[in-house]
Structure 1
Amino acid sequence: MIKTRRPLALAAAFAVTLLIGGSTVTAAAPATEDRGAAPASDAGRGTPPVPVIRATEVAKVAPLDPPSVFGHATVLEGPAFGPNGHLYFVDFTAPAGKPKILEYDLRTRAVKPVYTDATSRFSSLQFSPADAKMYVTDFDNGKIDRLNPDGTGFTTVFSGPVDGRKMVPDDIAFDKAGDMYIADYQGSPWDPTGRVVRLSADGTDPTVVQGGLSAPNGISFTPDFSGLWVSEYSLGREDQFMLAPDGKSVVAGNVGMSANTGLRGFDSNTVDAAGNVYQVVIGAGKILVWNQDGDQIATIAIPQEPKPEPLVSNLVIKPGTTDGYITVGGDNGGYIYKFRSLAPGIPQSNGGGA
């Protein structure tokens, strides 16, 4: 269960709201501050600044894509480590015939195209623990596809409507059995029709786990797989949903944590072995980090020079290490950045998604 600590009154604090058994309790949590900034005070008592972790560029891995819904920019997504230890990711804005799934060798820094087609627009990528195959979400066509790490064996696993409505699959996460949990990127603050949808490992039994969301985007399991962290893109809000034992519903006494920073554009997220949540803010060039109590404990900053307004979209922490990798796009192409995480990665340290 999530618990709050003593409120911290900082100049640009964000609200943390806990929904427990239908009751709402609001506390304050610290805003982002740079390391070395003057500490803020709480009723005359000093509070430590939130540290800033600086990410560094590793490699340019994709060219500038032609105009798309993001303008003349490249958007990379879904970094995940394959069975061979290489980093796989998708190019959300790649045109027909250009590489849409790519593979990056951390040792040689070589980038290799894995798959392309004429119609797909992949928004996330993840490897299933059930079969070690690669699963991708087709944002435009409402599909979940599966293929081998070398790009062969392409198969559509699911393409049907869920409760009579087509999905807009954004991010994907797997439980230990290989069942899929998908952020259905629909809805708005005034019409919250977004959902979290569950599919069995074989792509059957579609079930709405949670509805009433505003453009759900990032989705990651807690380390013990008892709950999900889900970001609502258009609200700039982080929610936690505790799951029933069968994983098909949210338990009646669920705990929902909403961390409202005043920012929008909450994109993908991930969780480390300590339960810390890393949340990308795509329009701000940063990643916010909270512990499992809802306290902001760090900010990961992506340098904006010489690439102004980087489109920071997703991240992954290599399992068993503190090596974190970030997909970054923008009007100069697509890049991989690296940072040091606060705790080691776990097998599902990637929620995927656009």
Structure 2
Amino acid sequence: MAQVNNFLGQKCIQENNLRKELLHDYCNASHCRCGDNASAVQEIGKSISPQQQSERRSPFMTGHQQTLAGETIGILAGWGRFPIAVAEAVKRRGGRVAILSIRDHADSQLESIADAHGSVGVAELGRVIAFFKMHKAIRITMAGKVHKTRLFEKGAWLRHLPDWTGLRTFWPHFVSRSRDNRDDSLLGAIASTFSAGGIAVCPATDFAPELLAEEGVLVGDWPNKAQRLDATFGWRLAKELGRLDIGQTVVVKNRAPLAIEAIEGTDECIRRAGRLCASGEFTVVKVAKPQQDLRFDMPTVGVGTLESIRAAGGSLLVIEAGRTIFVDRDRVTNFARRSGITIASFFDNQGELSIQSLCASVA
């Protein structure tokens, strides 16, 4: 026991020293005079709001014990494990799930989990509204990725032929071209159509708050100085990329951008970085958009993300605390540990990686 306590004590000292070193780097870079003394760190910690301090301790504890008491929650399910995780969370809280799987995307396992199940084309919005109303699901969430690249394939719209409601919704985007086809534009239009039909689109974290990533180094060692510089640099780029509603992910090494995400998605962005940087050891930064609508398109990390990083040779994944969905947390962290990949989660501070959030606990 004494050996364990000694090890933990040394670990805490090491982490605090690294936090102080990070503050020192930040102060030098910003020409601040506070250095790395403890009182300066405490002053920086005071600048964080009580709400952010509460979120930092556990961003998902608010509502964590919420029960749904037999309410039916609708899930419009895209690709990946995220819809499954949300459905399981709803059922743990005593709710029922009515799931509509998007054709060519959703996992077949959803059918066995659902209390009511159907499938739908991505543009059949009238059918979506009718299905959820039939099953008395007034609150729904959109979980899982829609591969926009598949929608650009030949004949894709024949498989996802819009109904009249979908046609009215998408007409300005694909026919008259009076509106653009960025994610925020399309998803906002869909949510407005659902709302007009009496269906409220809610954030998935309303039903599964435990999926949010907390702050800290979740797996691996604290990032070294070069990685911290890359993380800070990549964070700024990723936030700007998100502000333009292009993507959420940036890959950097030695403060040089290797790849940025667009329509291809996070995994292909990471793989492209691996092809361009054969030496590996790069940093992947994935964050929420500054204008992020929490109802949809939240940054999501799963085992597939880590598989792409390992295959491409990356060493550090940086995500945004409180605004990133962590799917299959145990599997992700175990995979990262076995692969030697560090996962670090930080809060945002007006478009910057929050140095304060790292340093506030140092005394």
Larger Rg: 2
TM-score tier by shorter-chain length is under 0.3
User: Counting helix residues as a fraction of each chain, which structure ranks higher?
Assistant: 2
Q: TM-score, normalised by structure 2?
A: 0.26
